[in-house]
Amino acid sequence: MPRTARDVVFVDGVRTPFGKAGPKGIYAETRADDLVIKAIRELLRRNPSLDPARVDEVAIAATTQIGDQGLTLGRSAALLAGLPKTVPGYSIDRMCAGAMTAATSVAGGIAFGAYDIAIAGGVEHMGRHPMGEGVDPNPRFLSEKVVDESALFMGMTAENLHDRFPHLTKERCDAYAVRSQEKAAKAYANNVIQPDLVPVAVRRTNEAAGETGWGLATVDEPMRPGTTMEMLAGLKTPFRPHGRITAGNAAGLNDGATASLIAAEDVARELGLPVKMRMVSYAFVGVEPEVMGIGPVPATEKALRQAGLTIADIGAFEINEAFAIQVLSMLDHFGIADDDERVNPYGGAIAYGHPLASSGVRLMTQLARRFEERPDVRYGLTSMCIGMGMGGTVIWENPNFTEGGK
Amino acid sequence: MSDTTALLKRAHELFPDEVVTSAHVRHLDLPLGAGKFALITLDNGFDHTKPTTFGPGSLAKLSEALDQVEREAAAGEIAAVGVTGKPFIFAVGADLKGVEVLKEHSDALAIGKGGHDVFKRIAALPVPTFAFYNGAAMGGGVEVGLHCDYRTVSTGVPAFSLPECFLGLVPGWGGCTLLPNLIGPAKAITVIIENSLSQNRQLKGKQVFDLGIADAVFAPADFLEQSLLWAATVLKGETVVERPEIDRGEAWDAAVAHGRAIADSKVHGAAPAPYRALDIIAAAKDATLKDAASLQAGFDAEDAALADLIMGGELRSGIYAFNLVQKRGKRPFGAPDKSLARPVTKVGVVGAGLMASQLALLFARQLKVPVVLTDIDQERVDKGVGYVHGEIDKLQAKGRLNQDGANRLKGLVTGSLDKAAAFGDADFVIEAVFEELGVKQQVFADVEAVVSPTCILATNTSSLSVTEMAAKLEHPERVVGFHFFNPVAVLPLLEIVRGESTDDASLATAFGVAKKLKKTGVLVKDAPAFVVNRILTRFMGEIQTVIDEGTPIDTIEKGVEPLGLPMSPIVLIELVGPAIALHVSETLHGAFPERFTVSENLRRVVAAGKRGFYTWASGQQEIDPEVAALLQVGDVVLTPEQVLDRALTAVAQEIALMLDEGVVAEAQDIDLCLITGAGWPFHLGGITPYLDRSGVSERVNGKPFLAPGIASVPA
């Protein structure tokens, strides 16, 4: 049977505001599935020319697939979001790159011809489901030294990365973090972020957490505008005495959900849907789990190789900021300055938060905004490090690109 | 201390057990930059199984919340105020327990006034106000929202109503005055009068929007988010709410007149509440929304009506009746522990006539187990099964069942001539054959020969002795009376009769089945005609005697009118069928010849094959001239008052004797039976509250049936 691969595009993406995990966080009394359901509904509401019955798949990622993040979340969220019962769904897990993997998986299905249009997203409610909830690592990991015991603790892997690259100092990481907060605050002031946020009604009964009753989450809770080097200098280093990783130069523990529409380009155009980004290539690559933060380097190299591009062709980067050191190690590898304006121009996870499996689509949504602003940029990438020693990178082409650009 | 505070404090002292609803004020930023919003969440701190209500303490909490938002609105700190509820519940109105405890007219007046004083402050806020009906809303819950400028409703709202008239009250926290001014008197009367008096019919969210009560409707999945977004568009002027102009001319009066006709057809003038509500609706014609002064006369009238009704017997009877149905009806008094019940996985029905077929359908639909009909020949069996399958088709056509569901039910209901094969593995066999003891005894003997020793043998007899029916069996302990009321699909009552030998396990199984059938099981002693038929027969017998003595039927009708029964005893004879009425009266005459007579006139009507006293041949209810010609009457003509007195005296006497005999445990069971088995109205409380408050109990029996406070103002 002859088969033609089809171009795959990112049509649109939305997310809930991200919250701080914990009893006082905005989502402390909100279910994880409800977060992703509201994101899916907003995505469909924003794209009225799409008949929901045309959605061929709903792929939703969550790292901890227990309770309200379990029950084959893609399918249950589809039903609860009011999609027609004919629309199938499934759950997906690649830890931090869950939503990214949801997008690449459905993209593969679209290119293959199995789907025309799919929803890809993710959710992580780290308040209701703390990292490591219910895990049962095989004792062979340690007995056979498959991994070092630090490999299962992300903060420790980030300290390990500092060991590997002594010239990427804590000071450089703190300076990067300060810039992330500044860029995020500026993006908010310029109303770049808010148009892609889904307000979420949040109930609170715990008086210790603030005003009780129903409220509305409209902005990211973790942001700390006005952060300075001095403020960061004194923070504790919870993963090592006199270490380098602090709450200030890493993403926090967060709650949130994302959802995106991924489609075959011809179908998107036929239905009059926006085409915000065209997928060029993607790659996931494994690295030593003890330094999982280096994962984006080989993943990016592989994706570039597949696309026939070099790093010089990339005009916009959205790199997940699980840890500043992980971003800097990638930039350092490619010879890009710490403060290069192509990198995370609207700030990143250090400011907005990183609800693990949801973050991949946040990167895409922000890259799509960048493409819209910068028709002179032809290629961009979204990249992230992944627990257990992996990295993932997706390279995107800007459909708004015009040759006249610089 | 403000008047309202003092008022509510006093009310709260009278009702210390109130589950107090909090009014949480939380501030949020509206979308679209529409400003700061103060959202009040009504929440009693329990989950949705304990709905949020308003008692005096709750009103005081709302008052405190309004103190805060009034300050903030005056200071320009908030752009708007909203009210919503906890998950699944908006608010279900006044806490009835708080009404029951009131003893003084002045305290009753304070409850109405307290609610008004608090709710009016919402309307008086200087910023726009919104109600977001997120879940069930009834009575005062609905009314809180009516005081707001705008309303949204969730399509997930399962129940929305102003049920006050159903209980014996008026929507008295603004409902009677505001609703007709919001949606017009005709629609308001549908909600306040017609729905309420139609067994408290509820609206769904979409209907609330369609009626114009809500200005916008949203799906439950993100109802509050979309409501807040909508509110933001209203505040920004992007959404303009336009409501239809209300005709304040003759149409208003015509709507009220139509409302009176509805009330007459439902309560026949016997319950004051709907008429008080209609008076207020009629006067609301001169009021205008947002004009506080013009609304005040209506609010004052609501306060007065509430106070009068709260101190009146009809409301106390209504609350008593409501509690009987909601509580006693669900936890049958005297039923054995339900853990004794045996599972019922297959049901047999002896007989395939109309009653048997209706039972088969009911068992199949509710128990979802195989049901086998048997009869004496294949033709009857086929007809019975055919009837059930036809009814299933009708349910499917109405959308009550899908194809799979219909297939399942049809597969469950089969017929057989071979009792041994059909009933061998049945756990419950009910007979609905001819009402003759010998026939029924033979049926049970035949069934016992083929079923397991623990299979329940139930009889749907309306008047024969369950004990005698069981007497000749090897296992009489498994025989129970299971007496349904016609129409089986409509009337909830199931008289569950304990014979002399019936054991607890069989009885518990019978109650378990009743619950699954969604029927109201009432434990009844094996006494002639049990409860409902005995009282109705005594009642109709007395009426028949009065007719036979010479009082015209028209006078009879006038006499019983003040009771507001769903139908007159003369019409009831037709519904029951004169032959069955005669048969029951003969049975009871056999048991109690001194009180139950057998009317020769009724015999003649039956012998002539007439179906009743009335004919509708001309399109109107008239006495059938052929029946009139059959009657041989005396020359004693009573007044309507004397007719009623004779009938009530007989009923009061009979109930007292039944309680002495232990037919049921308490007068409450008599009332529950009359409400659920004969449709006797809430405003009578069944009947004993009415007999008590009209003095009949005292005169006939020397004492009331119920202690003060049970269905009356507490002493």
In this predicted model, what pLDDT tens digit does every residue of B72-130 receive, in sequence order? Answer: 999 999 999 999 999 999 999 999 998 889 999 999 998 899 999 999 999 999 999 99
State CA B513 to chain mean position distance: 22
B84: closest chain A residue by CA = A214
Q: Which residues of B touch A (CB under 8 A)?
A: 22, 24-31, 37, 39-41, 43, 45, 84, 86-87, 219, 221-225, 228-229
Note whether B84 contacts A215, CB cutoff 8 Å. no
What letter does residue B405 receive in the DSSP assignment?
H
Rounded Cα distance between B368 and A218, Å, is 49
How far are the Cα atoms of A42, B21, B122, B446 from residue B67, in angstroms, in the given order?
A: 36, 16, 10, 76
Buried b (16+ CB within 10 A) or exposed e, B600-610: ebbebbbeeeb
- Nearest CB to B224: which of A37, A82, A214? A214
Model pLDDT, residue B557: 93
Mutate to test the interface with A, among B132, B218, B225 (most CBs of A within 10 A): B225
Predicted confidence (pLDDT) at residue B67 exceeds the cutoff of 80:
yes
Contact B300, B292 (CB under 8 A): no
How far are the Cα atoms of A276, A332, A398, A399, B171 from residue A402, in angstroms, in the given order?
A: 14, 30, 9, 9, 67
Rounded Cα distance between A257 and A357, Å, is 8
**Contact A207/B at CB under 8 A:** no
- Nearest CB to B26: which of A42, A211, A219? A211
Note whether A199 contacts B41, CB cutoff 8 Å. no
Give the count of beta carbons closer than 10 Å to the beta carbon of residue B418.
11
How far are the Cα atoms of B381, B387, B418 from residue B360, in angstroms, in the given order?
A: 12, 10, 17
Q: What is the mean pLDDT of chain A?
A: 97
The maximal CA–CA distance of chain B, rounded, in angstroms, is 86
Predicted confidence (pLDDT) at residue A50 exceeds the cutoff of 50:
yes
User: Taking Cα atoms as reference points, which of A281, A263, A284 lies closest to residue A272?
Assistant: A263
Q: How far is B16 from chain A (nearest CA, A)?
A: 24
Rounded Cα distance between B54 and B242, Å, is 31
Residues from chain A that touch B228, judged by Cβ atoms under 8 A, are 199, 201, 216
Rounded Cα distance between B142 and B131, Å, is 9
Mean pLDDT of A190-199: 97
Residues from chain A that touch B44, judged by Cβ atoms under 8 A, are none
Model pLDDT, residue A405: 52
Q: How far is B116 from chain A (nearest CA, A)?
A: 24
Note whether B225 contacts A82, CB cutoff 8 Å. no
Which residues face A119 on adjacent strands? A58, A261
B221: closest chain A residue by CA = A81
Q: How far is B29 from chain A (nearest CA, A)?
A: 7
- For residue B623, the surrounding DSSP H or E stretch is strand B622-623
Rounded Cα distance between B61 and B56, Å, is 9
- Nearest CB to B24: which of A82, A200, A212? A212
Model pLDDT, residue B620: 86
Mutate to test the interface with A, among B21, B22, B24 (most CBs of A within 10 A): B24
User: Taking Cα atoms as reference points, which of B228, B135, B269, B352 lies closest to residue B562?
Assistant: B269
Model pLDDT, residue A404: 64
Contact A110, A104 (CB under 8 A): no
Note whether B39 contacts A41, CB cutoff 8 Å. no
Model pLDDT, residue B2: 65
pLDDT in tens, B172-197: 999 999 999 999 999 999 999 999 99
Mutate to test the interface with A, among B37, B222, B228, B229 (most CBs of A within 10 A): B222
- Tell me the CATH number for domain A8-129+170-396: 3.40.47.10
- Which of A392-406, B46-60, B274-288 is least confident? A392-406
- As given in the structure block, the two tokens for residue B254 are 């015509």
Which residues face A379 on adjacent strands? A314, A397
Residue numbers of A between 24 and 43 with CB closer than 8 Å to B: 37-38, 41-42
Contact A358, A120 (CB under 8 A): no
Rounded Cα distance between B418 and B446, Å, is 11
Contact A126, A359 (CB under 8 A): no
Q: How far is B431 from chain A (nearest CA, A)?
A: 44
Predicted confidence (pLDDT) at residue B3 exceeds the cutoff of 80:
no
Which residue in this structure is represented by tokens 């109130």?
B18
End-to-end Cα distance, chain B: 31
Higher pLDDT residue, A227 or B615?
A227
Contact B450, B424 (CB under 8 A): yes
Specify the pTM: 0.95
Contact B660, B579 (CB under 8 A): no
Model pLDDT, residue B1: 46
CA angle A91, A32, A29 (to 5 degrees): 165
Q: How far is B219 from chain A (nearest CA, A)?
A: 9
Residue A406 confidence class, pLDDT cut points 50, 70, 90? very low
Full DSSP string of B156-209: T---EE--HHHHT---TTTHHHHHHHHH-HHHHHIIIIIIHHTTS--B-HHHHH
Note whether B28 contacts A216, CB cutoff 8 Å. yes
Rounded Cα distance between A27 and A200, Å, is 9
Contact B238, B229 (CB under 8 A): no
Full DSSP string of B444-465: HHHHHTTS-TT-EEEE--SSS-
Model pLDDT, residue B485: 93
Work out whether the CA dihedral B587, B590, B596, B600 comes out positive or negative. positive
Contact A68, A32 (CB under 8 A): yes
Which residue in this structure is represented by tokens 């949480």?
B24
Note whether B24 contacts A81, CB cutoff 8 Å. no
What letter does residue B337 receive in the DSSP assignment?
P
Contact A289, A354 (CB under 8 A): no
3-state secondary structure B142-155: HHHHHCCCEEEEEC
pLDDT in tens, B391-449: 999 999 999 999 999 999 999 999 999 999 999 999 999 999 988 999 999 999 999 99
What is the Cβ-side half-sphere exposure of residue B102, based on CA atoms within 13 angstroms?
30
Query: Helix %, strand %, coil % for chain B, to 5?
Result: 55, 10, 35
Rounded Cα distance between A303 and A296, Å, is 10
Residues from chain B that touch A200, judged by Cβ atoms under 8 A, are 225
Model pLDDT, residue A376: 96
Rounded Cα distance between B139 and B146, Å, is 11
Rounded Cα distance between B273 and B446, Å, is 55
Predicted confidence (pLDDT) at residue A255 exceeds the cutoff of 50:
yes
Rounded Cα distance between B416 and B413, Å, is 10
Which residue in this structure is represented by tokens 């908030």?
B78
Rounded Cα distance between B132 and B222, Å, is 12
- Which of B71-80, B298-307, B621-630, B660-669 is least confident? B621-630
Q: What is the mean pLDDT of chain B?
A: 95
Give one word for A344, left, alpha or beta, with left for phi > 0 and alpha for psi -120 to 50.
left
Model pLDDT, residue B580: 87
Contact B91, B131 (CB under 8 A): no
Which domains are assigned to chain B?
3-311 (3.90.226.10), 338-525 (3.40.50.720), 532-662 (1.10.1040.50)
The ipTM assigned to this model is 0.96
Report strand pairing: B22-29 vs A390-397: unpaired
Rounded Cα distance between A63 and A97, Å, is 9
- As given in the structure block, the two tokens for residue B9 are 């404090």
Collapse the DSSP code of B112 into the 3-class scheme (helix H, G, I; strand E, B; otherwise coil) and give the result. helix
- As given in the structure block, the two tokens for residue B271 are 């319950």
Report strand pairing: B614-615 vs B622-623: antiparallel
Percent above pLDDT 70 for chain B: 100
- Nearest CB to B84: which of A41, A82, A214? A214
Contact A269, A279 (CB under 8 A): no
**Contact A144/B at CB under 8 A:** no
Mean pLDDT of A73-93: 98
Active site residues per annotation of A: 96, 354, 385
- Nearest CB to B25: which of A37, A82, A211? A211
How far are the Cα atoms of A65, B345, B447 from residue B412, in angstroms, in the given order?
A: 40, 11, 20
Outline where B413-518 has alpha helix (H): 419-423, 437-448, 466-470, 504-516
B43: closest chain A residue by CA = A213
**Contact A312/B at CB under 8 A:** no
**Contact A381/B at CB under 8 A:** no
Residues from chain B that touch A41, judged by Cβ atoms under 8 A, are 221-222
